[in-house]
Amino acid sequence: MSAKNSERVLFITREYPWPTHTGALQYSAMLLRALAQQTSSLHVLCSESCVQSEVDDMDELNDVIFHQFQEESLDWKKQCFTNLPQATLRKLSASGVGKLQQLLEQQWSLIVVDHIASAWSYPLLCQYRKQTQQLLYCTHNEEFSTRLSIAASEQFIKAPMHLIDACRAKGADAHMFELADAVTCISSNDMSAYQRYRFAQQTPLHLLSPIYTDVPCHQRIVTPKTPRIVCLLGSFIWSAKKRNLLLFLQACTPLFTKHAIQIKIIGNMRQEFREKLQRRWPEVHFTGSVNNIASYLNDVRLAVIPEQAGGGFKLKSLEYVFQRLPIFALKQGLVDLPLEEQHSVQLYADLPSLAKGIVQCIDDDMLLNNMQQRAFDACTAFIGMEAMVQKLEEVVYASRM
């Protein structure tokens, strides 16, 4: 690793990112670690996580200084009389504003605003913009289109609320684009979507894809003894993720049960939602949040990406690839990985086709083993922090030209 620079960097993110139980937290943690490898003076402003974990095995974080603030409860007045989207409003607090104001009274070489949830910082960043040499805005989704798709799928009563939130998200993005020297996008689809907006025309956009930071599985073979289990990995807190899960279970569970195929859902969800799902589908295994994902994948034959809404880059795809699980996905759910359709991945137009395809292929051991090996070989460039560090350095350098 190259020597660290002496620049002072402030990283504003929505919450302390460990444990990384969601894709957004995983991506934030990647960005933070990449910055920590570049600079010897990194400060992080974030809200306090409900459950915090110590990060003992990452030496690059030893010198990072965390400034944590308390969140405030959302009352109806705060939600009605605002131009901020829900994700941003949840992080707006007097504690956060006060701590950010103290930090901005100092000189910074670079400020990184991570996620639209951190856009509450916009007014203060405007006020102190001349004291900051460079500002980078890191997006996780193209928020407007994502929220529109959620609104379109909701019932009549809830749809207007999501439409309003979509417009507020677009406004928050526009403000951050206006302020930033450069913006990063997590996927090429998001970048293309942003490029359609007038507010994005004058701001340089850069693709900053996630990478895989865990230990890859170097050998895994499906045999006739491997249980007929299909897994779905994810975090099921956000309404879009919950809806995707419900649609998947509704479409696939009857057919899978008929053909003696089990479903394992691995990931974080609220207890009441999990209990509701378990009552409706008692044959499905819901693990809840887990610390060691790999240990829950040992008895799985294949993995699915059934998302129809939610946007962004599906970090679960990297977990599947590097834990050597054959991937069966909807075409719109898999982006920016060098996987070939019907060669290293099986892609389908809709959920019924996905369910039928899995039934047809689940006992073909040779097909499944060939798929996972080809996918692993094609994606080795996504392993390790080096790629993220290098790309982030390129983005910072390019925006200074």
pLDDT digits (tens, 9 = 90+) for 224-263: 999 999 999 999 998 888 989 999 999 999 999 999 999 9
pLDDT of 312 reads 59
Torsion-angle region of 312 (φ positive above 0: left; ψ -120 to 50: alpha; else: beta): left
Q: How far is Cα 93 from Cα 72, in angstroms, rounded to an integer?
A: 6
pLDDT digits (tens, 9 = 90+) for 249-299: 999 999 999 999 999 999 999 999 999 999 999 999 999 999 889 999 999
3-state DSSP assignment of residue 105: coil
Q: Which of 21, 16, 17, 54 is nearest to 291 (CA)?
A: 21
State the DSSP H helix or E strand holding residue 302, giving kind and residue range, or none if neither.
strand 302-305
- Asked if pLDDT for residue 194 goes beyond 70, the answer is yes
Q: Which of 287, 240, 243 is nearest to 262 (CA)?
A: 287
pLDDT of 161 reads 86
Q: Which of 130, 122, 132, 129 is nearest to 174 (CA)?
A: 122
CATH architecture of the domain covering 229-382? 3-Layer(aba) Sandwich (3.40)
Check residue 399 and report its DSSP letter: T
3-state DSSP assignment of residue 236: coil
State the DSSP H helix or E strand holding residue 29, giving kind and residue range, or none if neither.
helix 23-38
pLDDT digits (tens, 9 = 90+) for 8-35: 999 999 999 988 888 899 999 999 999 9
Task: Place 146 in a pLDDT band, splitting at 50, 70 and 90.
Answer: confident
Residue 35, both tokens: 């910055």
User: What does pLDDT average to over the chain?
Assistant: 92
| Backbone φ, ψ for residue 100 (5° rounding) | -65, -40
- Total Cβ atoms within 10 A of residue 227: 11
CA angle 175/178/181 to nearest 5° reads 130
Domain boundaries, the chain: 5-211+384-398, 229-382
Q: What is the DSSP string of 42-85?
A: EEEEEEPPSS----TT-GGGTT-EEEEE---PPPHHHHHS-SS-
Q: How far is Cα 151 from Cα 143, in angstroms, rounded to an integer?
A: 12
State the DSSP H helix or E strand holding residue 104, giving kind and residue range, or none if neither.
helix 94-104
| Backbone φ, ψ for residue 78 (5° rounding) | -65, -35
Q: Which of 193, 196, 271 is nearest to 236 (CA)?
A: 271
Domain 5-211+384-398 CATH (choose: 3.20.20.70, 2.30.30.100, 3.40.50.2000, 3.50.30.20): 3.40.50.2000
What percentage of the chain exceeds 90 in pLDDT? 77
pLDDT of 195 reads 96
Q: What is the Cα Rg of the chain in Å? A: 21
pLDDT of 145 reads 87
* pTM attached to this predicted model: 0.92
Domains 5-211+384-398 and 229-382 share a fold: yes
Strand partners, 267: none
Sheet with 110-114, edge to edge strand ranges: 65-69, 39-47, 5-15, 110-114, 135-138, 182-185, 205-207
For 193, residues 6+ apart whose C-beta sits below 8 A from its C-beta are: 142, 144, 145
- Asked if pLDDT for residue 139 goes beyond 90, the answer is yes
